[in-house]
Structures are given as C-alpha cells and as structure tokens.
A = this chain, B = another copy of it.
Amino acid sequence: MKAPEAVLKYLADNEERFIEELFSYARIPSISAQSVHTGDMRDCAKWLVARCKKAGLQAEIRKTSGHPVVLAWTPRQDPKKPTFLIYGHYDVQPPEPLDLWTSPPFEPRRIGRRVYARGISDNKGQHLAHINAIEAWLKTGNELPCNVNFLIEGEEEIGSKALYGFLPKHVRELACRALVVSDTEIPGLKHPALCYSLRGMAPMEIRLEGPARDLHSGLFGGAVDNPAMVLCQMLGALRDERGQVTIPGFYDDVAELSHYERQQMAKVPFHEEKFRRSVGVRTLFGETGYTPDEQRAARPTFEINGLTSGYQGEGGKTIIPSWASAKITLRLVPNQDPKKILALLRKHLKAVCPPTVRLQLTEGQGGEPYMLDPTGALAQAGRRAAKRGFGRECLLVRSGGSIPIIAAFKKYLKADSLMLGFALPDDNAHSPNEKFSLDAYRAGMKMSAHLWPELAAAA
C-alpha cells in the first residue's frame, strides 16, 4: 500500500516552499503559558487555518474556554471510507532562559539540515509535515483512500485544559477510526519508531508560608522556623537513595514491564556514554534495577521543576524568607491515576508538614498514562508506512513524555492513537536551542504520504 508516485514527486518538488512555510510558522511566539502572548496565539491559529486552506483542506478556528483550536478536513468526505484524525499542537514551551539561546528563539536559523527555533520540533514541524503530505494528495488529484481530519490545539504545553472542555462537546465532529499523532521522538533518522506508551503527568505547586514578612536572620534566626529549610526537608525526603518516590502508595498501581517489552526496548540503540555526554552530566542517576531507557519511559518519577524563596539577587541578604515554593511534576506510568496520585501526595505532605509553616497546594492539570497494543493491525500499518518514509525498520518504543490528551481521546472518541513522531533525541524540546532536522521533516512527509493507504487497508 504505497502512495502514488505523483504524490511523492509533489513533496520533493515543493520541499523548499515547505521549509519556508515552516520558518513562517516558527516565527510566531505562540507561548500558551504566558498571558502576554494571547494575541500571538490567535495569530498562530489564523496562520494555521490559512496554511490548511492553501493545502486544499477546509479549515476553521474554533473558540474554546482558552486558546482556540484549529479544525481542518479533506473536502468531499465519503462516509463509506474510514476517517482518521491527525492531532497536533501549535503552542510552544516558554523559551526562558533566553541567555542560553545562541540565536533568538523566534527567529528560525538554518545551519545545514538543522533549523533552530522554539517549538519547531515540538510540535510545529511535525504536524506541518502531515499538512504538506495531504496537500500532495489533494493537489495531484489522487483520491485519498480515507477521510483525513486535523485537530490542532493551543494548550498542549499547559495541560490541554481548553481541549478537555471542547472534546466531549464535539464527539461526533471529531469521530474517527484512530488518531495519528506525531509528537514523539525516534532514536535517530535510521531508527524510525512507533511509540506505543506514554507516561502520564501530575503537576503541583507547593508553597510554604512562614513569617508574615522576611525576617532579619540574626535577630530572629533560631526562634522562628525557616520555610525554605522546611521545603527542602519535605521535598528532599520524597525520593530515597534507590531513586524511588517515597509517597506512601505511589507504586501500588504501576504496571511492571513485561519480559517482551524489555526485549523490544533492548533493540533500541542506546549508548550510555554518548547519552551522558549529550545531557552534560558527570554520571547518570535513576531507579535501581532498570536501564536508563526503562527509567525514563516506563518508570514513574518525582521532579522539581522550579524552586523559589527569599533573596535571589546580587550579593546576599541575611533573612529568614517569608515563604518558599516549588513547582513539581510527577511522571506516571500505566496504570497510575493522576488524581489518585495527587491525592496521595497531598495527604502525605499534609501529614509531614510541621506546624511552623502553612502549607498551600495548587494542583495543575494532570494527564493519564497511555498504552496501545503494539502487535495490533493499526500499529503494524503505521510501522510499514514509517519504514517506507525513513527507509528503515520501525522500532517499538515507549516515550517518557506525556500527551495527556491521548487518554482523553480514548475515553471520549473510543479511538486509539498511533504515535508516529519524528523528533530526534538532540532536538532540545523544552530546552534552549530547540531544533528540527530537515531530513526528519522530509522523511515525515513521505511517511505521512504512505500512511493513508496503509491505514485505510488496516481499518
């Protein structure tokens, strides 16, 4: 089930324009987390609608409780054909810290076959490749063997709250046989991969309030507790020396890795020394008894994302800070439930918090972990298309990242997601100097072109 030659030729002939359009898209600072960028978010959605229409799709912006979503669909849909829904997100992570970028994050800079810009890999370049592939089908007059719809949201990086509201109200409009999601990573251009599992996530902000104001640490220190010290003691005790999370009950629902899975994961090339050097640490650290790939994709974690307390400026300031806070996220694996895990954390923190400080907990939007049968027909079809796009066998992997909305698609649309991302391990997603490979962009377009006949046949 290959794509017609004309479709592939169209992709090759138009590649320079597709790259220019990628640059235009990446220039829009669509940072969903920062309210100052609300106008940019709307501009980005408008750009996307115009791009879809140019591809021959019908498209529109749809209002939500937050940032808008963009819907698009192939024209003249045939109810007898299966329908597939491509999901992506046009919002990006905040680019801070800016001083670590070697070029401005919203001025895409091409060096050889790499382009540097915030959000270009996560996720703009990846769903744009699908739009390009559908354009090739439509503009060459080849009939798609299925209906293809797009759902591109603007709140993935902040928990997809608006889409969680939108989804249940638009179940019929979004109905599909399966979703196609390109927002995961592959080991390398020679190793395309189908991702069959995602970790879930549970975020919380922990704030401890001590004295009503910052106090002179000489005049008061010793008789008044220090909220920064209490925060360190409470957080520090949440991980033991084996790298396990100490929240009581935390591991109760964890699905242990099967022998088959560990075998499949072992096929994924992993060079520990290269990995260590690429992240720039002296030694790796993880839960005892698991490989690094298992630790970061199939085991749950507790991470501190940020710490704030007291004086952080130039020089020193001899105070007992009035308060201290931490932003944290727990990464969860099947079958942990974010609501249950946050309740366990809340209960534990309340139990261990001393009476000298006031505890304030703010829960963020969590996301459930996800798992697809890697041996099913859908997965096999996806692996064949990836093999054609990249010219190499497609591995089976788990991702440690979270796309919480995938579990919601399963719940509301009763549809599984085929995760065929093509971000590379050194793309610096969520980090300074995020980049995207133009070779991955090209292979991704080819994979998408081949995907529709494969999926239609498997459906």
Contacts and interface: CB of A to CB of B under 8 A. Distances in A.
Given A33-B314, A213-B431, A402 B218 contact: yes
Contact of A96 (B281, B311, B364): B311
Interface in A174-222: 185, 199, 201, 203, 205, 210-222
A304 B226 contact: yes
A300 B222 CA distance: 7
Interface residues of A, number: 105
A311 B431 contact: no
A176 to B, nearest CB: 25
How many copies of the shown chain assemble into the complex?
2
Contacts of A335: none
Nearest to A277: B212
A222 B296 contact: yes
Contacts of A327: 310-312, 316-317
Contact of A285 (B214, B223, B425, B432): B223
B228 A296 contact: no
Nearest to A356: B285
Nearest to A428: B213
B228 A231 contact: no
Interface in A284-342: 284-287, 292-293, 295-297, 299-321, 324, 326-327, 329, 331
Contacts of A433: 213
Nearest to A307: B309
Q: Which of A224, A279, A354 has the most B CB atoms < 10 Å from its CB?
A: A224
A34 interface: yes
What 10 A-B pairs are tightest by C-beta distance, nearest first? A212-B280, A218-B401, A33-B315, A306-B310, A225-B285, A236-B236, A228-B304, A233-B236, A232-B236, A222-B295
